[in-house]
């Protein structure tokens, strides 16, 4: 199934793929027909894969333990960095950065349950998503979440290919861990910031899955 967050782009790309297949039915050299068919099938296959809305059952432990902070996206952990002072958390913190390649599932899910204290969009650059500066200079959306055991923040960050962030979260929303809230279209990055007192459960190089991988345990 195609995610509602990406249907506008997906239908356009599926239309392009269909046009390439139809073009192959017109009189033309066999080599050109073959190329048109292959390109059309490639576009359709990539679109269905990238905009898929795969299920991600929540780790049972996360249902009962409000201290757990879950991965909000699929991808690879590229950085686990101490932060001297997080404006969103009001003190020292640790930032966990997850890089999403174009083949990863790009539908995002809430990393914990609680109330959204802040949700805002910030325009910016389009640096490569694995560049550490993308956290502060790229186009992004920032969310501050008050959980029963402490405050965290997380942000959707566009990359060199990703040029659009989609989310349906607003300040004051009461949210539940594992539920969908948006997506980043094409290569992108997700940062999760937790208090410095939290126990970090991942390290650079780890592959994570949304709603299944535990990123951190809060001490609150």
SS (H, E, C) 163-201: CCEEECCCCCCEECCCCEEEEECCCEEEEEEEECCCEEC
Residues in a beta bridge with 77: 98
CA pair distance 168, 179, nearest whole angstrom = 12
Burial label, 144 (beta-carbon count in 10 A; 0-12, 13-18, 19+): buried
Report helix, strand or coil for 134.
Answer: helix
Check if the beta carbon of residue 49 is closer than 8 Å to that of residue 6: no
Catalytic residues: 188
Residues 6+ apart with CB under 8 A from 181: 108, 109, 110, 167, 168, 169, 175
User: Which residue has tokens 């998503």?
Assistant: 129
């Amino acid at each position: 199934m195609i995610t509602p967050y990406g249907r506008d782009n997906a239908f356009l790309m599926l239309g392009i793929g269909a046009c390439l297949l139809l073009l192959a039915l017109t009189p033309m050299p066999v080599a050109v027909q073959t190329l048109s068919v292959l390109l059309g099938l490639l576009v359709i296959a990539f679109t269905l894969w990238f905009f898929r809305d795969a299920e991600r059952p929540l780790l049972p432990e996360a249902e009962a333990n409000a201290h757990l902070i879950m991965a909000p996206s699929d991808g690879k952990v590229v950085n686990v960095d101490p932060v001297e002072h997080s404006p969103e958390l009001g003190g020292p913190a640790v930032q966990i950065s997850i890089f999403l390649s174009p083949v990863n599932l790009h539908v995002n899910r809430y990393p914990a349950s609680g109330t959204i204290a802040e949700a805002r969009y910030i325009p910016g650059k389009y640096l490569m998503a694995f560049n550490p500066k993308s956290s502060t200079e790229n186009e992004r959306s920032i969310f501050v979440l008050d959980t029963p055991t402490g405050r965290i923040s997380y942000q959707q960050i566009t990359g060199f290919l990703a040029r659009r962030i989609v989310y349906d979260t607003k300040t004051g929303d009461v949210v539940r861990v594992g539920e969908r809230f948006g997506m980043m279209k094409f290569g992108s990055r997700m940062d999760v910031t937790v208090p410095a007192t939290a126990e970090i459960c991942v390290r650079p190089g780890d592959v994570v899955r949304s709603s299944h991988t535990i990123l951190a345990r809060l001490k609150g």
